[in-house]
Copies of this chain bind each other. A is one copy, B any other.
Amino acid sequence: MKIEILAVGSELLTPFFLDTNSLYLTQRLNDLGLDVSKKIVVGDDRDNLLNCIQAALAEADLLLIMGGLGPTGDDITRDVCAEALGKKLVFREDILQKIEERFKRRGRDMPLSNTKQAYIIEGAEAFENKNGTAPGQWLVQGQTRVVLLPGPPRELKPMFEAGIWPKLQEWQKGTMVRKTLKITGLTESEVEGCISGLYPASRDLRLTILASPGQIEIHLTSFATEDWGVAELKIESLALEIGRQLEDHIFSSSGEELEAVVGRLLGEQKRTLATAESCTGGLLAARITNVPGSSEYFLEGFITYSNRAKNLRLDVPLELITSHGAVSYEAARAMAEGVRAKAEADFGLAVTGIAGPTGGTPEKPVGLVYTALAWDGGVDVEKNLFLGQREQVKFQSSQKALDMLRRVLQKTERMS
């Protein structure tokens, strides 16, 4: 079964836009156990588009074409597709009425140019567009199913779910289950070293690593022709083996981000948090407060960029800063203890470091970051050296601070 996705639009051939619809379509096709063989992007150019569609018709069992169904002169997908298929366009009064009604509901008259959207390729089934004017189309030519979809994601997705997805079920070869393991505290090569013996040999069980500074994701997909339970069993047993190798470096196996894991644990344990940030400049608190309901456990945060602020807000002694520096083990420790006391929180989390690009010295280079956690069990301070640009250093610093808190919270969870 050969599936091709063809995205039409000159803007997709500029340096500014990527075709992201195909990720969504791939995901939904994968859910049926179907793989995509090829993805193509062409502009709003008759000859190129005609060539592409003709070549795809000769090859593909399913051809998904998206974009170029709008009302303007640039939108030629409908016409060129009909030409490639050797079919006529037929006018559909019922579709025109729907488009006119859509405009009327918004108190406007339909521009004449929208009339062309009421034309359907001869023999095609039309799909209503709940979020726009261009209907979708589905037709069969020889052994190829051809699908026309509007380009805007908010029009394409609901139409695909309601109209196309049910028609593809007949090809379902089985069930697919997905699982994502999220890891921090290890490099990509460390993760690969740990799990190199676990790469599945079967095409039905797949492992993909997605790495970025501070976070590694292992994406597992399992496909079974039998039933859901078989696919589930295979993926869980692989995840278990990976878990044995990576242990508590895995912070999530359900899709949760680190700030959500920490937030959930804080909520469950009814404990509160306050933050003191220097080099992360608010990023740590911003991530914590991205979690809905974080006001339950997050009390407040201080961004103490200046030494004056570190002293006045967090009671970090000015002598300490003079003797050890604002970026030091001692300063991080004092910031964590200070914010915990000031906010009357269970946990005080602090970060101080040099995010770059300037401010580094041979003794204290760019990327040197101290992270500290104060709680009723004491104070932990970690010295880190992160690589990357300013924003990457900031992200990795916030990630490390959150991970220190996660480990303490999970220890409590295990002991209770």
Residues of B within 8 A of A284 (CB): 282
Contact (Cβ within 8 A) B281 A288: yes
Alpha-carbon separation in the docked complex, A55 to B59 (Å): 12
Q: How far is the CB of A93 from chain B (nearest CB, A)?
A: 30
Contact (Cβ within 8 A) A52 B23: no
Q: Which residue of B lies closest to A301 (CB)?
A: B303
A1-44 interface bits toward B, Cβ cutoff 8 Å, 1 = contact, 0 = none: 00000000001111111111001101100100001111111110
Q: How far is the CB of A131 from chain B (nearest CB, A)?
A: 15
Alpha-carbon separation in the docked complex, A207 to B293 (Å): 42
- B23, B37, B298: the one contacting A43 at CB < 8 Å is B37
Band of interface residues on A: 35 or more
Alpha-carbon separation in the docked complex, A356 to B300 (Å): 18
Question: Does A275 belong to the interface (CB within 8 Å)?
Answer: yes
Contact (Cβ within 8 A) A39 B40: yes
- B36, B42, B309, B359: the one contacting A13 at CB < 8 Å is B36
Residues of B within 8 A of A275 (CB): 282, 303
Q: Which residue of B lies closest to A299 (CB)?
A: B306
List CB contacts (< 8 Å) of A318-374 with chain B.
Answer: 343, 356-359
Question: Does A48 belong to the interface (CB within 8 Å)?
Answer: yes
Question: Does A313 belong to the interface (CB within 8 Å)?
Answer: yes
Contact (Cβ within 8 A) B282 A286: yes
Alpha-carbon separation in the docked complex, A14 to B302 (Å): 42
Contact (Cβ within 8 A) A30 B15: yes
Question: Does A210 belong to the interface (CB within 8 Å)?
Answer: yes
Chain A interface (Cβ within 8 Å of chain B)? 11-20, 23-24, 26-27, 30, 35-43, 45, 48, 51-52, 55, 59, 208, 210, 219, 275, 277, 280-286, 288-290, 292-295, 298-306, 308-309, 313, 343, 356-359, 390-391, 394
